[in-house]
Amino acid sequence: MYAVSADSKGLDTVVGLLADVVLHPRLTEEEIEMARMAVRFELEDLNMRPDPEPLLTEMVHEAAYKENTVGLHRFCPTENIAKIDREVLHSYLRNYYTPDRMVLAGVGIEHDHLVECARKYLLGTRPAWGSEAPVDVDRSVAQYTGGVVKLERDMSQVSLGPAPFPELTHIMIGLESCSFLEADFIPFAVLNMMMGGGGSFSAGGPGKGMFTRLYLNVLNRHHWMYNATSYHHSYEDTGLLCIHASADPRQVREMVEIITKEFILMGGTVDVVELERAKTQLMSMLMMNLESRPVIFEDVGRQVLATRSRKLPHELCALIRSVKPEDIKRVASKMLRGKPAVAALGDLRDLPAYEHIQAALSSRDGRLPRTYRLFR
């Protein structure tokens, strides 16, 4: 995405600049080397961060879609950085920067004027990578497999300052939801809002989600849980609803059981008050985001690119309002029939076996099968 905020009188100049940046990037050796250094730094930073959420998200996708589509690495392996040169970038641009994959969006300007500028600067222009025909790009559909990805790591030294940071083990459990093109996308968004959650140090106050299930049932009841947060990732052909939790390594088994129980409760009775609260919160978040022009413009571009049309805020709010308790129960029950995807990071000695997590999510109460050990 390339974006410019400017005075509407300068639309012609701005579209010309955008077209130049997109279609005629110079990509000098110095620029590429600077970008390589930045990527190396970011990869190092990723492994040193106390917040492992980006890494866990990558791992849970890897587990959910084993070796296909969204399960492939999003972060560049360190050994590949040096291989990416001007030629590789040009071949990427040639295959992906094609008219059928582009949307020119604008906010606060006349439509006809924007179309006129697009004709002037984007039509019939020869891009920097030449006019060879693009190769057919991979259009394979995501295949959900479920599975587990573990990364044993010493998390006792992650503190950035002199104050020690408690050693934590992080778990993310996910189940397949649906794509953003399906009607069930809205009930899943409401369910994700209803689960909510956050860190145990989050300051309270209106709109902070302190009445969501992961606060009421998990963080408020189990003082040793440092984090319990729900995430919903949605794509054109699949989706993933996850819960991320973190606690002391000695309480990993208990933490996993608490999360599996919360998943089972999703398919149970839904209180009308909590549902209304989640719907209101989702609508207010949507409307607050759409108050800023850069977000409106991004929303227009993304929706048109993904669905070839744009749903207006009032249409989305009507869809959210129409979600009933039985919709939540139906989508959750359907989701619970699938295999889980599990990502685990840190000290994993007490992590339950994948088969046990799967059995807990197939049970009526979400309990892990009891294991008996002669020697502890």
Report how far residue 328's alpha carbon sits from residue 335's, in angstroms, rounded to the nearest whole number: 11
- State mean pLDDT over 196-220: 77
For the whole prediction, is pTM greater than 0.75?
A: yes
Query: Residue 172 pLDDT > 70, yes or no?
Result: yes
Q: Give ∠ CA 115-120-124 in degrees, rounded to 5.
A: 110
For domain 147-362, the CATH architecture is 2-Layer Sandwich (3.30)
Question: Residue 272 pLDDT more than 70?
Answer: yes
Average pLDDT, integer, range 195-205: 72
One-letter identity of residue 135: V
Please give the pLDDT value at position 197. Answer: 86
Condensed to tens digits (0 to 9), the pLDDT of residues 245-264 reads 999 999 999 999 999 999 99
Q: What was the pLDDT predicted at 155?
A: 80
How far, in Å, CA of 316 to CA of 130, rounded? 42
Would the pLDDT of 374 be above 70? Answer: no
Q: Confidence band (pLDDT; 50, 70, 90) for 136? A: confident
Q: How confident is the model at residue 370 (pLDDT cuts 50, 70, 90)?
A: confident
**Spatial separation of the C-alpha atoms in residues 49 and 42, rounded to whole Å:** 10
pLDDT at 53: 92
Please state, rounded to an integer, the average pLDDT across all residues of the chain.
92
- pLDDT for 204: 53
354 pLDDT above the threshold of 80: yes
Angle subtended at Cα 262 by Cα 258 and Cα 264, rounded to the nearest 5 degrees: 115
Closest Cα to residue 199, out of 250, 266, 245? 245
205 pLDDT higher than 60: no
Query: How much is the pLDDT for 133?
Result: 87
Q: pLDDT exceeding 70 applies to what percent of the chain?
A: 95
Partners of 228 in the β-ladder = 198, 245
Nearest of 175, 183, 181 to residue 320 by alpha carbon: 183
Structure confidence at residue 150 (pLDDT): 97
Strands 341-346 and 147-152: parallel
Q: Quick count: other Cβ atoms within 10 Å of Cβ 11?
A: 19
Check whether 201 has a pLDDT greater than 70.
no
Averaged pLDDT, 319-329: 97
pLDDT at 47 over 60: yes
The band of 15, judged by pLDDT with boundaries at 50, 70 and 90, is very high
> What architecture is the 8-122 domain classified under in CATH?
2-Layer Sandwich (3.30)
Residue 2 predicted with pLDDT over 70:
yes
Burial environment of residue 135 by CB neighbours within 10 A (0 to 12, 13 to 18, 19 or more): exposed
Q: Where are the domains of the chain?
A: 8-122, 147-362
Statement: residue 336 has pLDDT above 60: yes
For residue 137, name the pLDDT band (cuts at 50, 70, 90): confident
Q: Taking a C-beta distance cutoff of 8 angstroms, is the pair 289, 295 a contact?
A: yes
User: What pLDDT, on the 0 to 100 scale, is given for residue 202?
Assistant: 57
Render pLDDT for 77-131 as a digit per residue (tens, 0 to 9). Answer: 999 999 999 999 999 999 999 988 999 999 989 999 999 999 999 998 899 998 8
Band of pLDDT at residue 207, cut at 50, 70 and 90: low
